[in-house]
Amino acid sequence: MKYIIITGGVLSGIGKGTIASSLCHILSNSGLRVSALKIDPYLNYDAGTMNPYQHGEVFVLDDGSEVDLDLGNYERYLDRNLTGDNNITTGKVYKEVIERERKGEYLGSTVQIIPHITNEIKRRIRKVALKDDLDLLVIEVGGTVGDIESMPFLEALRQLKREERGQVTFVHVTLVPEIGKEMEQKTKPTQHSVKALKEIGIQPDILMCRSIKPLTTDSRRRISLFTDVPEDAIISVYEAENAYQVPEIIEKQGTIEIIKQNLNLETSKYMDTWIEYKEKLMNPQEFVTIGIIGKYTELHDAYISHKEAFNHATGNTGIGVNLKWIDSDSVRENIQILSDLDGILVTPGFGYRGVEGKIASVKYARENRVPFLGICLGFQVAVIEFARNVMGISDANSTEFSKETKNPVIDILPEQVNVSEMGGTMRLGAKEVDILDNTLAMELYGEKKIFERHRHRYEVNPEYIERIEKAGMIFSGRDEQGIRMEILELNDRKNFIASQYHAEFKSRPLNPSRLHLNLVKCALEYRKSRAGKNS
């Protein structure tokens, strides 16, 4: 079993996740069985209860695990489904060790960071490495070298290299800033970052140097001299117009050959499966503007899977998507903020803040026949808006927002009540969705059964379903028992659809989300129709 371990230095947010994903992509397209693992040194057990402002999107896997958004990148670049085991946190490690200590499994030993915590970290890494019959596991260590939180993980990984001789390669990601009028590349941050790594016993084998422009020959020489990393193993990861270009950038510098030599690997010729996709992505022939209506819109990483799903739509259609980020509260103050949009996406979320603005956005889309997609909470507010403004139930609401509402068109189903643990009432992970014939949903998916990922508590109240459908809203997708409503659409158009599940989580470059793809295509039709009316 071989391992590539990716650490980061100088500053956070340097691009380790994209580099890790890119390595996964080029190696898996060179005939290797590859998977990825993310180490998050925070004490939280998982990302499920973390504020998007602090941590970005919570990504959900098929098995229901709530994980770091980097696992979404891994899945997209690998075109492979991962599990909760692919995300290790300090919380998971310490919880396991303490529970074992309480059961007496350490036979009275004093439980310490070394060896008990480091052994548990290595056990979890090897569990992932061995369960899927892999050739290679790419491990990304969150944070920056020197952080107190990551020290036990780096020590465990140092031990792993010692125990698995010849099977481990360390890749260190650093920054080479460019300063002054001449934009001179400065190598000192990289030198000091590698020095800090060496001080804890780790010598990097490959350096991935982030910079605006490609590294100069002189910069490579200086970095090599002061870090003991061969010049040909210093890879320049310069600014790309789109993250999907990064695999090509690092592959063209001989990265695969270096890894093959370091780990004694046998690979086939690298096949770039994204050539046509990247061409369309980078050179769209037409453009549409789609509004992202949410309450975290100033932090785009809170909706990163939606951004990627629109990239995937562009790469498959050649239709470029300009995203307009709109805080849902601002819609209530000025509905005309939506007037220049070709399509509207109402995003997921929890809590009442911003909900009335989302409802107003749905109303605008429905009344003006603007292409619309609602996801999760976007699905629920579409039901509320329809009940209020089409069915005349003026006080229709969700019990999430109004416990006392007399018309809870959205509610918690009885079997979900009285679960005490935080997150216990959540419907999480991949669930079966049955699609009705002769519907827009069937036209888009072409299958009667699909499996999509969920992250929500509240459902369409079964007591209102028949009345809603009689009024013209069709529930074209349902769970396997026919109890939970999964997809809605309107019976008088093909550009209005919403899903209770998160269609964005399973979108891939060569297999985009059908719902996002439909929104983009409908947005272009709408744009052309408006242009025709105005000409």
Residue 356 maps to which CATH number?
Answer: 3.40.50.880
- Taking a C-beta distance cutoff of 8 angstroms, is the pair 48, 151 a contact? no
- pLDDT at position 205 is 97
Average pLDDT of the residues of the chain:
94
pLDDT at 535 over 70: no
Last residue of a domain, one of 241, 269, 297: 269
| Residue 240 neighbours by CB distance under 10 Å | 14
Give the residue-averaged pLDDT of 344-350.
93
129 and 75 part of one domain: yes
d(CA 521, CA 13): 33
Place of tokens 């499966």: 273
180 and 230 part of one domain: yes
pLDDT at 424 over 80: no
* Helix%, strand%, coil% for the chain, nearest 5: 40, 20, 35
Whether a cis peptide bond, with omega within 30° of 0, leads into 408 is: no
d(CA 270, CA 31): 8
Confidence of residue 4 (pLDDT cuts 50, 70, 90): very high
Domain count, the chain: 2
Lowest mean pLDDT among 91-105, 128-142, 183-197, 413-427: 413-427
> Could you report the per-residue pLDDT of 361-416, keeping only the tens digit for each?
999 999 999 999 999 999 999 999 999 999 999 999 999 999 999 999 999 987 65
24 and 124 part of one domain: yes
234 and 282 part of one domain: no
- Taking a C-beta distance cutoff of 8 angstroms, is the pair 246, 22 a contact? yes
- Taking a C-beta distance cutoff of 8 angstroms, is the pair 59, 66 a contact? yes
pLDDT at 417 over 80: no
303 and 451 part of one domain: yes
Place of tokens 């991935």: 208
pLDDT at 507 over 80: yes
CATH value at residue 169: 3.40.50.300
Lowest mean pLDDT among 182-186, 224-228, 292-296, 323-327: 182-186
d(CA 478, CA 466): 14
Confidence of residue 180 (pLDDT cuts 50, 70, 90): confident
Confidence of residue 533 (pLDDT cuts 50, 70, 90): confident
Type of residue numbered 197: L
Lowest mean pLDDT among 96-110, 200-214, 303-317, 417-431: 417-431
482 and 527 part of one domain: yes
In 436-504, DSSP assigns E strands to 449-456, 459-460, 473-478, 485-490, 496-499
Within 293-410, residue ranges assigned H as helices are: 304-317, 328-333, 355-368, 377-389
Q: Tell me the residue range of the domain where 255 lies.
A: 2-269
Last residue of a domain, one of 221, 250, 269: 269
d(CA 119, CA 384): 51
Give the residue-averaged pLDDT of 18-36.
97
- Taking a C-beta distance cutoff of 8 angstroms, is the pair 156, 140 a contact? no
pLDDT at 254 over 80: yes
Q: Phi/psi class of residue 438: alpha, beta or left (left: φ > 0; alpha: ψ in -120 to 50)?
A: left
d(CA 373, CA 147): 42
Both tokens assigned to 401: 């927002």
Give the residue-averaged pLDDT of 255-270.
95
406 and 294 part of one domain: yes
d(CA 152, CA 97): 13
16 and 92 part of one domain: yes
Residues identified as active-site = 376, 502, 504
Last residue of a domain, one of 269, 290, 309: 269
281 and 263 part of one domain: no
- Taking a C-beta distance cutoff of 8 angstroms, is the pair 40, 91 a contact? no
Could you tell me how many helices (H) and strands (E) the chain has, helices first? Answer: 18, 23
Give the residue-averaged pLDDT of 323-350.
94
286 and 173 part of one domain: no
179 and 306 part of one domain: no
Place of tokens 């419907």: 427
d(CA 237, CA 26): 15
pLDDT at 28 over 90: yes
Lowest mean pLDDT among 211-220, 246-255, 295-304, 490-499: 295-304
- pLDDT at position 255 is 97
129 and 156 part of one domain: yes
